[in-house]
Structure 1
Amino acid sequence: MKALLLVLGGLGLALCPVGMCSPAGDPCPPCECTNSAVPIMWCIDKKLDAVPGKIPLGIQEMFLQNNNISSLRPTDFLPEGSGRDNALTPPGRRPRIHLLTLDISHNALASVPTAALAALQQLNKLYLTGNQITALPPGCLGNLSRLKELHLSENRLRVLNPGAFSGLPVLQKLMLSLNNITSIVPGAFRQLGELELLQLTGNRISFIQPGAFEGLKGLKQLYLRSNGLHSLTEGSLDGLDQLQVLSLSHNQLRTVPVGAMVDLQALKDLYLNNNHIAFLPEGFLPRFKRLVILDLSNNELAQVPEGSFLGLTKLKQLDLSFNNLTGLTTGMFCPLLNLTILNLFNNRLDSLAGLAFEGLVSLRELHLDNNRISSLPPELFQKLPDLKELQLDNNLLSGLPEAIFHNLTNLRTLYLDSNRLRAVPAATFRGLGHLRELQMDKNNITSLPETLFDDVTELRILQLNHNRLSALPRGALERLANLKELQLSGNLFTAVPRGIFKNLRKLKELHLDSNWLQTVESGLFRDLQRVEELQLQFNHLRYLPPGGFAGLPRLKKLLLHNNRLTAVAPEAFEGQGNLQELHLDRNAISSLPPAAFRNLAHLTLLHLNFNRLAYLSEGLLDPLARLKQAHLYGNPWDCRCPSILYLGRWLRENPTVVEGSVECWSDRSPVAAVKAFPSVPLHCTSAPNQSPHLLYYLSLALFLTAIS
């Protein structure tokens, strides 16, 4: 209640439980009221089984949804039921209930409460959604002559009979979705001449009788989605001369309902997607010259007849995705001078004619992904001057013509991932000065020309993951001064030369994971002043040298898990004062120097799980004042020696930080239970007292010996 007061107070509204804005004896409880420009009574989720007995005078909107109301009394909304004047009623005005909006959604009404509603002649909006209403008797809403919106979705209606909506001369929106309607008797909507939107989605209407929509002369939007319609006969949509939006999607149509749609000349948006339409009748679409959106996706179209789009000069969005198209005829899109979005993804396109997209001078998005395209004609995209997004991913491209993208000077996004590219010509991206995102993941690229990215100076995201790159030319990234994300995961890099990142001063994310890197050279990242995330997991790193991450003052997330680390230099994380996440899990680290984490004051997440740690050096975790999660499980903690005492004490002092069970290796007992040793057992080694620097350099010497 207090939180609601604060929220409504911030909106300039005031609540009026007893004594606040209503005088004693005329209360709002168990509901709340707002004394604002539009007085509102809120009775949501109050476990009510009836309308509150007293309604403050002057209330204009009442919300009763999510209760247990099964019926309304005829007197529920009568003026005498609201008591005497109160603060919500201006002085000198006769007391009355003047509801404009009533919401009784999600209750247990089995029928329309006709008698109770008779008093609400000023009502504009009525919500009866989510009840158990099974029928609409003639005249059941007859007194609501000013009603503009009626919501009856999610009920149990089965048939719409004539007279069901009589007495609603100004109704504009009628919502009947998610009922069990199987039949619309002609004349059911006869008196709804002002209706603009009719929602019938999610019913069981498999057949529509001629004349079903008689009288809807002003209807602009009709939604018949998800009904199980098998066909529409001639006359099914008669009288809908003003219809602008028609949705027949997610039905069982096998043919386009030509005869039923013959008079829908005002249509702007047509949705025929998710049916079983296998062909487009010749001359069907050209009659709808005002079409702006056409969705034919998720059908069974194998071809589009020549001339199908003649006259559709206003069309802006065309969706032909998820069909069985194998080819595109030359010039088929020529009439679509204003088309901005063309979806052709998830078809069976294997080749494209050089002039397939001729005439699409306004096109901004072209989606050709998830097809079987193995080659591209050099002239394919030459006449698409406004194209901003091009998706060619998930095809069978093994090569690219060098000049294929040269005329796409406004291109912002280019997807070439998941193809079979082995090489990319040096001039491929020439002239793409506005390109922001380039994806070339999951190809077979083995090398890149040094000048490949010279013209894409505005690039923000470059993805080259999962190729076969073993090296990058030294100057390959020099001109990418605006790059923010560089992904090189899943390649064959064994080393990264110093200086390769020298001009990437705006880079925020660097992904080098899943390669074959064996070491991190000191100073490798010195130019990456803005990097916040560095991924080096799943490599072959064996040690972290001093200053290995120097030059990364803004680093927040460092992933080093699943390597072969055995040792960490005391100064490995020097300068990482902003680091928040450190992942060192699943390595072979047997010890950590006491000062390893001394600069990590902002660290909140630490993974040390699944290493070979038998103990932690005294004071190792003490600098981590902001730590919220520490993963220490999966290590062979040796509870037989005093060296474990520091960890046991730290676990007891920070029980809410530790994730998982931290157990002694010998008997699976909790490490936190180890509190003291009367004497030092003979088998305990002196390892804890050895110099951490010595341990590090001994491990480094062993590593260098192993690789020499």
Structure 2
Amino acid sequence: MKRAMAETLHKGRMLWIILLSTIALAWTTPIPLIEDSEELDEPCFDPCYCEVKESLFHIHCDNKGFINISQITESWSRPFKLYLQRNSMRKLYTNSFLHLNNAVSINLGNNALQDIQTGAFNGLRVLKRLYLHENKLDIFRNDTFLGLESLEYLQADYNVIKRIESGAFRNLSKLRVLILNDNLIPMLPTNLFKSVSLTHLDLRGNRLKVLSYRGMLDHIGRSLMEIQLEENPWNCTCEIVQLKSWLERIPYTALVGDITCETPFHFHGKDLREIKRSKLCPMLSDSEVEASLGIPQLSSSKENAWPTKPSSMLSSFHFTASSVEYKTSNKQPKPTKQPRAPRPPPTPRGLYPGPNQPPVAAYQTRPPIPIICPTGCSCSLHINDLGLTVNCKERGFHNISELLPRPLNAKKLYLSGNLIQKIYRSDFWNFSSLDLLHLGNNRISYVQDGAFINLPNLKSLYLNGNDIERLTPGMFRGLQSLHYLYFEYNLIREIQPAAFSLMPNLKLLFLNARLNLRNNHFLALPVAGVLEHLHAIVQIDLKLNPWDCTCDLVPLKQWLEALSSVSVVGEVLCASPD
């Protein structure tokens, strides 16, 4: 009998292992599109693949080598979704989509798009969703989105957007979800959101330093359910009070993640919400600050109070694991903060309400499987790819090996504000899916060669605020996908030749806003290929070096003379020749 029970237990364990393996595989394997397909009642288009799902016609033209929309010569009489990811379209020309006027969703992600001509979207009056993620767009003009009056969802993350004109969204009155994370946006123009009623706004990973109240935050109104502002270089001075005051007026659950100060130095790494107004603006009272910035006084009237459960169109959006959709990452706060109230699940509704519109299933509100999260951390699920954001900030970790159990499919790992001193090659053995790793404000002084070899998909690496003195090529082995590298506020004394040569996709490198090179043994410093790239430098300290004032030092002299007089700390004195 004991033997029979043992065999039964063994079979049970094997079934459980198979089940776990299947679940883990489902997190990384796309769901087959052929299942649950209905019979086609429209022609397809070679070389694309077509299907009918949930009463909608889907045309899959991903990775087919298209260079122009005009190559799609077929048209369809019923509402359809068009997938055009990973093609080679560099530009969208005027009237490109006139023959595709029944499209309700178009996915143009991963096309290296650089330009959208005026009137490119003419004819797309029923388009609800537009995906422009992972392209090379650098501007949204006033006329970029003409013709998209029904658009509800716009995703343009992972571009190089530096400028958005004030009227870019003026005709998008139905826009509810706007995703602009991981761009290069330094500021948002006044009245940008005047004509829209957003429920979700994602501005993470840009170059925003402040958001004004008048003409900006005052237009992000009562319909807001979620806003994400992380990973921006916020300047926590008097001017940031308008953002702090606005945050105090919106529902507590609306802000996802932290707003971490970049400057001034004494606030570096701190959460804006934890800093008292009197510290941000010590010379003025709260009422004086708000009055000077045009912020209205809080009213106790219920009529002016923000709703605790906003009524919005959120539930009309369809979030699935098989397509690129909006990333929700409801991060849990630190234990010392007041816990966020749980969000009530929305009432499922169809995406296309109306008598002749096909219904679409509501988006998922809970993860399909249990989340595996390291002890002491908080984790949240991205509905779009079933990836995790793992928040282990300020948890007292001394080693990354303490992160147990290891999470499945972690995409973002925050370890800032811990006590980590060394990074080893074995630390990230189960984090190959990471696209962001934040190790800022630890005590890291040693990074083993090849420490990041298991992170082939990493795009952003934060090592700011540590004690690293030396940069070598071996430190960055394996980071072939890295775009952003942050090294501000370290103790860097040596950068070896070709230190960054193993990161071919590196776009932005932050060595320090205040470059301290004093009291070293520099005889000269190269401008070409080194100093010429420090466009955003605030201060540089070159004192107490034995400068050799010969012909070789002329480029450095000219570079210093081109800087503001307040940027160069002290004098640069010659030690030779006599």
* Normalised-by-shorter TM-score class: 0.3 to 0.5
TM-score, structure 2 length as denominator? Answer: 0.40
Q: Which structure would you say has the larger RCO, counting Cα contacts within 8 Å and 6 or more residues apart? A: 2
Max Rg structure: 1
Identify the structure with the greater strand proportion.
2
Identify the structure with the greater helix proportion.
2
